[in-house]
Amino acid sequence: MKIAVLASEVLPFAKTGGLADVVGALPLALQYCGQEVIVIMPRYKCVTDSKFKINRVSEDISFSVIGKDLKVYFIENSSYFARDGLYGDKNGDYKDNLERFSFFCRRALDLLKEINYPADILHLHDWQASLIPVYLKNIYAAKGFYSRMKCVLTIHNTGYQGIFEKEKFAKLGLSWDLFGINGLEFYGKVNLLKGGIIFSDFINTVSPTYAKEIQTKDFGFGLDGLLRERKEVLSGILNGLDYSVWDPMVDKFIIQNFSAETLESKVFNKEDLQKRCGLPLNKDIPVLGIVSRLAEQKGFDVLAEALSKLCKMGLQLVILGTGDLKYHQILKNASEKYPGVISLNLKFDDPLAHKIYAGSDIFLMPSKYEPCGLGQLISLRYGTIPLVFKTGGLNDTINAKNGFLFSDYSKDGLLRALDHALLVFKNKAKWACLMTNAMNCNFSWSISAGKYIKLYAKARAR
């Protein structure tokens, strides 16, 4: 099959979150399975000639290569994309995001013809690429070149939909007939993700449980009704983990490499982490790690409530993250109150993240909702046992054999699960068994890519 993957961020070129990890890894896994794949994204300021080998195609199109020969095309437009941020700056979202990403979508469709790439499948990600099926079905499909193309839309988080004021609709170049309950209208505004859901042939999200959850009021963020209507073409496929990046056997950021067969070496990473974080060196004290955006979605409301009790449970807590200033402050206060218990690192720091995954005993991820989640998959790989809230992708990847789940989203629910985990931690044989199970889990991209190929085949057959 000929596949074109379209997204607003792709590793290694630009990243704000898990979306970039997925779009950087899935195309390579698809290609490995024998599919023909290209990727198209905007060319932001960070995609420089000095950092990457860029080849020119035309005045406003260039490309680079990932893997051996997979082309990533860049749509250039200096007034829209040559900025420091991808979607916004310290003042919030850019005011012209609708113009920026509608431009990206139309230009990407034109590009397919210019480079003579008659894709069987357009695989779109999130609201930024959601206008592609809208334009395709309402404008482009009438032209022969585009008439057989099918669209698969992946939703990475229903919390982000691309919602704009009604007045902006005119900028899309679409008929006003499409501004209505059966089109892009959403409570009087324009909703780009809604357009993608209506006009795509298949829709998927990044875990089976989240695919069900988004059809409910609590997780659908207003789109649950529409998603229920489209449930026949809605499914969930777990994200994979890039095991070439996350592998304790060869990880260059950690002090001691180890595997499921040399688990006893993991303790050197714990010692190193305690030392770096200024925590008392003691291998018998359980170390809890957190690597996360500091946001309510990630469970920081419940964690903040539980913090003072948690700090008296005979453990150490290493936190790495940035985000909501409210949580910066709460965690700062707690770390000052409990020195020697909390190590707080308010920054984005990839090497330290690796050290935390490798050196902790327990990985805390009490997300209120979690479409898929990467943190728990990484920690499994490093024999660090996840303690998670039973939701979304956490529910699909963590079970009693490889971690701890709690299903009552509250301070008490979290503390009860932690109490249990600490009890098991004291039983060395049981803990070693958990670690081995965790490290032997396989969430590689090859499995997920196979599922995407089946989904594409279904879309093509429609």
Binding footprint of ligand ADP on the chain (CB under 6 A) = 17-18, 291-293, 320-322, 348-350, 353, 373-375
Separation of alpha carbons 242 and 281, rounded Å:
32
Cβ atoms 337, 312 nearer than 8 A: no
Residue 2 CB, nearest distance to ligand ADP (Å)?
Answer: 29
The alpha carbon torsion through 153, 154, 156, 159 (nearest 10 deg) reads 30
Per DSSP, what are the bridge partners of residue 42? 75
Non-local (6+) Cβ contacts of 267 within 8 A are 283
Residue 456 CB, nearest distance to ligand ADP (Å)?
Answer: 23
Residue 166 CB, nearest distance to ligand ADP (Å)?
Answer: 30
Separation of alpha carbons 51 and 48, rounded Å:
5
**Nearest to 358, CA basis, from 376, 385, 382, 386:** 382
Nearer to ligand ADP, 103 or 389 (CB): 389
Nearer to ligand ADP, 60 or 349 (CB): 349
Q: Give the type of residue at 413.
A: G
Residue 391 CB, nearest distance to ligand ADP (Å)?
Answer: 13
Residue 239 CB, nearest distance to ligand ADP (Å)?
Answer: 7
Nearer to ligand ADP, 350 or 412 (CB): 350
**Nearest to 195, CA basis, from 122, 128, 121:** 128
Non-local (6+) Cβ contacts of 134 within 8 A are 105, 174, 178, 184, 195, 196, 198, 199
Nearer to ligand ADP, 102 or 384 (CB): 384
Residue 154 CB, nearest distance to ligand ADP (Å)?
Answer: 13
Nearer to ligand ADP, 253 or 412 (CB): 253
Residue 167 CB, nearest distance to ligand ADP (Å)?
Answer: 31
Nearer to ligand ADP, 28 or 198 (CB): 28
Radius of gyration (C-alpha) of the chain in whole angstroms: 23
Nearer to ligand ADP, 342 or 353 (CB): 353
Q: Select the residue whose beta carbon is closest to ligand ADP and give its number.
A: 18
Separation of alpha carbons 162 and 158, rounded Å:
10
The dihedrals phi and psi of 409, each to the nearest 5 degrees, come to -75, 85
Nearer to ligand ADP, 154 or 292 (CB): 292
Q: Is 398 strand, coil or helix? A: coil
Nearer to ligand ADP, 250 or 432 (CB): 250
Nearer to ligand ADP, 245 or 313 (CB): 245
Residue 177 CB, nearest distance to ligand ADP (Å)?
Answer: 36
Cβ density class 64-77: b for 16+ within 10 Å, e for less: bebeeebbbbbbbe
CA 226, 231, 232, 238 torsion: positive or negative?
positive
Please, how many CA atoms are within 13 Å of residue 231, restricted to the half-sphere of its CB? 13
Long-range contacts of 410-415 (CB under 8 A, 24+ apart): 410/302, 411/302, 411/305, 411/306, 411/309, 413/302, 413/389, 414/299, 414/302, 414/303, 414/306, 414/366, 414/389, 415/306, 415/309, 415/310
**Cβ–Cβ contacts within 10 Å for residue 338, how many?**
16
Residue 204 CB, nearest distance to ligand ADP (Å)?
Answer: 16
Residue 440 CB, nearest distance to ligand ADP (Å)?
Answer: 21
